[in-house]
A and B are shown apart, each in its own frame.
Chain A
Amino acid sequence: MGSISLKQVSKVFGDTTVIPGLDLQIEEGEFVVFVGPSGCGKSTLLRLIAGLEDVSGGVVEINGQDATRIAPAKRGLAMVFQSYALYPHMSVRKNIGFPLKMAKMDKAEIDKKVEGAASVLNLTDYLDRRPGQLSGGQRQRVAIGRAIVRDPAAFLFDEPLSNLDAALRVNMRLEISELHQQLKTTMIYVTHDQVEAMTMADKIVVLQAGRIEQVGSPLDLYHKPRNRFVAGFIGSPKMNFIEGAEAAKHDAAVTGVRPEHLSLSKTEGTWQGTVGVAEHLGSDTFLHLTVDGIGGMTARTSGEFDVHHGDRVYLTPRADRIYRFAADGNAIA
């Protein structure tokens, strides 16, 4: 059990409308990622689902039942916060067991469940420590442990990895994905990092200024962005946008080409440009170029491509991979 649906949900803080009213259906067992630039309302949306904020209008349904006016504790959801929000005065054992204690569960039962969760999360050796004595990654795992012991209808993650260093972030990302495979519980995950969104999600919800720009699987969004915003937001490095005469050739106000859809050559091609910065990663080469008559562009090619600052290179866009956008930003089919 764990389907959530939002019907015309809106949120207003004073004079500011954060979410003007949106509809969204989240199916049971799905891993849904809310992604968007900071201030787009994704955390607010999560807090509305959690019940930590009251909706200004609309209905939140959990498992088909109206939960709009139900207190957060009674919604059967568990949340992992960006700051971990562990109880500093309690041991790891008590932190993880706290929701069960609140549910008036039997002490022996609590111990059993806590130990179960701890072994899943490799926390068994740390059960008697306080959060202050743990590393960032361990704290994050305690926060997740506190969420899983409750068998919630859905997990809500609010940018849970943003306080971790890059290497740990990749590890935790995998751990959370594995956890989802194991538990098959609905998960809603908020992030501003599109790589996290692409790698973890079954379904991505791209938000901007409180509006849903597009909902779809990661590859849907990558291949068929509905508008220029989604096209620019999904994919790394960002899509190159070309305006003016070059775009007009394709009957569009703006055209877009992803860096990986530009083939590079030292001898021939459609466009010619000068290399500004060349990033040689071994597996890939990223070139930041100034293309004659167009401007700044980024190109990506796999493997090593031996050019340096100031070199001239040719670029050719893949004809079937040119995205076209109208003047209002919407994609032209």
Chain B
Amino acid sequence: MARATSTQRRWVVTIVAWSVGLLIFFPIFWTILTSFKTEAEAIASPPSLFAFEWTLENYGEVQERSNYFRHFMNSVVISLGSTLLGLIIAVPAAWAMAFSPTPRTKDVLMWMLSTKMLPPVGVLIPIYLMFRDTGLLDTRTGLVIVLTLINLPIIVWMLYTYFKEIPGEILEASRMDGASLRDEIIHVLTPMAVPGIASTLLLNVILSWNEAFWTLNLTAAKAAPLTAFIASYSSPEGLFYAKLSAASTMAIAPILIMGWFSQKQLVRGLTFGAVK
């Protein structure tokens, strides 16, 4: 009896999980599918699932009309740059909060996180003006700075959580062994926190890669990453679903592939400390 119930339950759970998974994946799947249709088929009603004439025409046209590679490189530089800069700032910050906390540490962490609750558009104008006056508009440097600042609270929080799991005695042992603060962070703390740092890095690359609000508002031509590349297809001429889909597919493909290969690391990182 008990076994029958548990089998039944497993079936239900499996079906629910698959449904949720497919539901989440469907828009991406539909985008990819649409990218292989002609513009006419893309807006046909009812839409056809597979019974259409497959074409690569959209990809060709997108490639011709805009420089994918330049946008791609901008995305790479901006997301990696902001992630690395963020880590350089966040590792010492999280170290300090995890290993020499003060009564105010929790408040500082909450305050940092609270900056994420502010709608970004609330600070768009001041930031835009500052960027204009300092010549950072439409530069990769400018985007690296703004994305670092946007994601820093999350990086600090994640690292703080991982560092909390490292026994303080090990760091004290390294201090007794003659390690300077720098040695302690480089030789002991960082290697022990590698899984955590790696998943923080991955998550942050993904967040920066997908960041659209700031990249669209602060770039024009030179520093525009892939988000701007996609947006350029939903423009004045009206919507061209097939080309838009082709552009989107090209934009998300690199990060999708990266996510696929690192999913184990990501899941491990995000659930770190949950079970022990």
Residues of chain A whose beta carbon lies under 8 Å from any beta carbon of chain B: 50, 52, 71-74, 77-79, 81-83, 85-89, 98-99, 102-103, 146, 150
Contacts and interface: CB of A to CB of B under 8 A. Distances in A.
B53 interface: no
Contacts of A86: 170, 173
Given A87-B188, A89-B192, A98 B169 contact: no
A85 B169 contact: yes
A81 B127 CA distance: 51
A72 B174 CA distance: 10
B137 to A, nearest CB: 44
Q: List 10 A-B pairs, minimum CB-CB distance, nearest first.
A: A85-B173, A99-B177, A102-B178, A85-B169, A73-B178, A79-B176, A89-B191, A85-B170, A72-B175, A81-B169
Interface residues of B, number: 18
Nearest to B187: A98
Given A83-B167, A88-B192, A89-B192, A102 B172 contact: no
Given A85-B167, A102-B174, A102-B179, 4 more contacts: A73-B180, A79-B176, A81-B169, A99-B178
A77 B176 contact: yes
B61 interface: no
A52 B188 contact: no
B179 A73 contact: yes
Interface string B149-173: 0000000000000000001011011
Contact of B172 (A85, A87, A89, A103): A85
Given A85-B169, A87-B170, A73 B192 contact: no
B172 to A, nearest CB: 5
A79 B167 CA distance: 16
A99 B170 CA distance: 13
A52 B175 contact: yes
Contacts of B173: 79, 81, 85-87, 146
Consensus secondary structure, chain B interface: helix
Contacts of B167: 83, 85
Interface in B115-160: none
26 contacts: A50-B176, A52-B172, A52-B175, A71-B175, A72-B172, A72-B175, A73-B176, A73-B180, A78-B177, A79-B172, A79-B173, A79-B176, A81-B172, A83-B167, A85-B167, A85-B173, A88-B192, A89-B191, A89-B194, A98-B174, A98-B187, A99-B178, A102-B178, A102-B180, A146-B177, A150-B178
Contact of A102 (B169, B183, B191): B183
B179 to A, nearest CB: 5
A4 B4 CA distance: 71
Most buried by B among A73, A74, A77: A73
Contacts of B178: 73-74, 99, 102-103, 150
Contacts of B191: 89
A55 to B, nearest CB: 16
B196 to A, nearest CB: 13
Contacts of A71: 175
Contacts of B175: 52, 71-73
Interface in B164-223: 167, 169-170, 172-180, 183, 187-188, 191-192, 194
